Structure 1
């Protein structure tokens, strides 16, 4: 009887031992094959506003790459508020992110600069996208379109199309990328007195701000026959105001972005004269590539400039009007 019990006990011991070994082996495989949570890299993104499809496309490219690495992405929308964006930067610091990708609400904001410097002291990499910071030393990498060139292209097209012009500018003075576009336009027409700036209005790049701003210009009796808008959203707001006021004379409308809405208007109507296309797809891809290169200790370019291209009636049929480039 005792011998039988001993055999049973030995059998149970062997089974327990085998189960224990299998458990240890399983944990070892899990550790080697599947990265544990503490090894995941964390990246925070904050754009001046997500009320702009451009930034959604940029972020989608970033999101795809982060997901392919099995890492974590935190995306925030400050809705054009400097204070909110600073709070978001602080939350990224608290989450111990490895990199912050930021499109600043205000390129010259001391609050944003201070918050980003605090992040850098914590060893967090800073990538600025679709604009620059006034204090360029804060960013490890800046990824922008050739914004000055965009303004030049719009101006050159206008000068080849309109013999003389009274021009309404729609601006976003807090953002250096927008300032560069307007500077490129102004520098190109500077030596040509037949092209006059008759009004300048702040739009913050938003349709809902540019539309009433253009309304007010029309109601004030300021004559203009060209609208140069820093982006397509502002240009579309201007178009809406012009349509609502039923202006009878031809107005030439220029934008920057190459958004699907603007490209469709350009292809299917005579309401839009031209837009300069930038690529949020390339911008997002180059941004996250730079972020991972830094995280892997590889060298990166401090400034990455993405080419732009003018779209008008002569070439709109050659591009995809339904999506972004």
Structure 2
């Protein structure tokens, strides 16, 4: 039903390795900045650095939007390693993309007496009240990956320029395509995802022959994205390219296996 094969995009092994290296380099950079932010808040200004004084150990809470994502897993492991290396303790909660659960879990962390909170909001707006409560309790709030609104308390915000990332992807896409029928995978509750999709679409809209035929909400999760994309194929949707948003390796492996069985549209990651 669909004419173009995955050969339209340069997904040779060497290209995938370069992208994976770039992806991991970005994660390491974010980890380093998060760790630095935690240390600046708590490991200077009269603190006794003696690791033997365990009774003075600080408790650091962490809540990333989902741990079903290599990006957050790596950040969590690196931050926890350095916090614990200083004799302090880390407590992690996984809201699994549930905004209400994340707010509830953060309140539980506050009740445990955390000194700082590292948080990647599943929905930034929904955390306004609990982050205000954290600030009122004297807890330092470090927001990563997805920025919160200016009126929501945060002592430190560490994000990428997701809109510009979308623009860069869009420019590259236009170099490879004069025409396309696009399916765009989205994650509307995540500000970072909205910005990346927005940057991409604003850029490719310069070419009137690039058509968005459908947007599919996938919450940034492969296990949600693939069945919904399969539904679009089964329904006979006429498209030839997919903007995948994230989860590059997992999405590509599944697609590569399926593409060996029949003609499928190109992926653009």
Q: Kindly indicate whether the alpha-carbon contact (under 8 Å) linking 2:222 and 2:250 is maintained by their aligned counterparts in 1.
A: yes
1:52 aligns with 2:66: no
Q: 2:184 aligns with which of 160, 169, 174?
A: 169
Shift of 1:37: 3.4
Which residue of structure 2 aligns with residue 77 of structure 1?
A: 94
- Equivalents in 1 of 2:165, 2:187: separation in Å? 15
- Equivalents in 2 of 1:252, 1:32: separation in Å? 54
C-alpha distance after superposition, 1:35-59 (max 9, x if no partner):
4334212110011111111111011
Which residue of structure 2 aligns with residue 134 of structure 1?
A: 149
1:253 aligns with 2:236: no
Shift of 1:237: 7.2
1:65 aligns with 2:82: yes
- Larger-gyration structure (1/2): 1
Shift of 1:108: 2.3
- Which runs of structure 2 are paired with 1:87-236 in the superposition (5 Å)? 87-109=104-126, 112-135=127-150, 137-232=152-247, 236=251
- Equivalents in 2 of 1:33, 1:162: separation in Å? 59
Q: Kindly indicate whether the alpha-carbon contact (under 8 Å) linking 2:51 and 2:87 is maintained by their aligned counterparts in 1.
A: no
- Equivalents in 2 of 1:188, 1:117: separation in Å? 36
C-alpha distance after superposition, 1:107-142 (max 9, x if no partner):
221xx2111111110010111111112355321111
Q: Kindly indicate whether the alpha-carbon contact (under 8 Å) linking 2:61 and 2:109 is maintained by their aligned counterparts in 1.
A: yes
Give 3-state SS (helix, strand or coil) of 1:222's partner. Answer: coil
Q: How many residues get paired?
A: 222
- Equivalents in 2 of 1:77, 1:133: separation in Å? 19
- Equivalents in 1 of 2:250, 2:233: separation in Å? 15
- Aligned in 2, Cα 1:71/1:162: closer, same or farther, shift over 3 Å? same
C-alpha distance after superposition, 1:263-316 (max 9, x if no partner):
xxxxxxxxxxxxxxxxxxxxxxxxxxxxxxxxxxxxxxxxxxxxxxxxxxxxxx
Q: Kindly indicate whether the alpha-carbon contact (under 8 Å) linking 1:210 and 1:238 is maintained by their aligned counterparts in 2.
A: no
Give 3-state SS (helix, strand or coil) of 2:181's partner. Answer: strand
Shift of 1:77: 0.7
Unaligned stretches of 5+ residues in structure 1: 1-30, 256-325
TM-score where L is the length of structure 2 = 0.75
Shift of 1:229: 1.5
- Aligned in 2, Cα 1:32/1:83: closer, same or farther, shift over 3 Å? closer
Which residue of structure 2 aligns with residue 273 of structure 1?
A: none
- Equivalents in 1 of 2:92, 2:175: separation in Å? 43
- Equivalents in 2 of 1:43, 1:136: separation in Å? 24
Unaligned stretches of 5+ residues in structure 2: 1-47
What value does the CA root-mean-square deviation take over the aligned residues? 2.4
- Equivalents in 1 of 2:49, 2:191: separation in Å? 46
Which residue of structure 2 aligns with residue 311 of structure 1?
A: none
Q: Which has the higher contact order (CA 8 A, sep 6+)?
A: 2
